[in-house]
Amino acid sequence: MKYHFKIHKEGKHFWAQCVELEGCITQGTSLKDLRKNMQEALNLYVQEPESSKDLAALPDESIRRSKSIEEVSLDPQIAFSFMVRYYRIKYGMTQHQ
């Protein structure tokens, strides 16, 4: 699962916001640092407690990588548990079903 971050530069520093996930924002002193922080911010944002009914939005597949948009992959283990929760909640299923 790949989400998209819009990258901004302010002076010598960078910050980015996830296009699909409102409030998923991070910053870095270099592009390398920013990329690491985007991965961490995305994983933390999507990973919800099991008891939570809140669901993050799915990635928008129509968004394409560009000069100011970067794709960031969700950790595979987090992506798997997110998709299981997503469909379980969407279709009103319990963990016992």
Asked whether residue 62 is assigned to any structural domain, the reply reads: no
Q: Tell me, what DSSP letter sits at residue 21?
A: S
Q: What is the pLDDT of residue 97?
A: 54
- Look at the chain and report how many structural domains it folds into: 1
Which residues fall within 8 angstroms of residue 4, CB to CB, at 6 or more apart?
Answer: 18, 19, 20, 59, 60, 63, 65, 69, 70, 71, 72
Asked whether residue 58 is assigned to any structural domain, the reply reads: no
The domain in which residue 27 lies consists of 2-51+67-90
Asked whether residue 44 is assigned to any structural domain, the reply reads: yes
Asked whether residue 82 is assigned to any structural domain, the reply reads: yes
Asked whether residue 61 is assigned to any structural domain, the reply reads: no
Report pTM.
0.87
pLDDT tens across the length of the chain (97 residues): 999 999 999 999 999 999 999 999 999 999 999 999 999 999 999 987 776 777 889 999 999 999 999 999 999 999 998 998 888 888 888 766 5
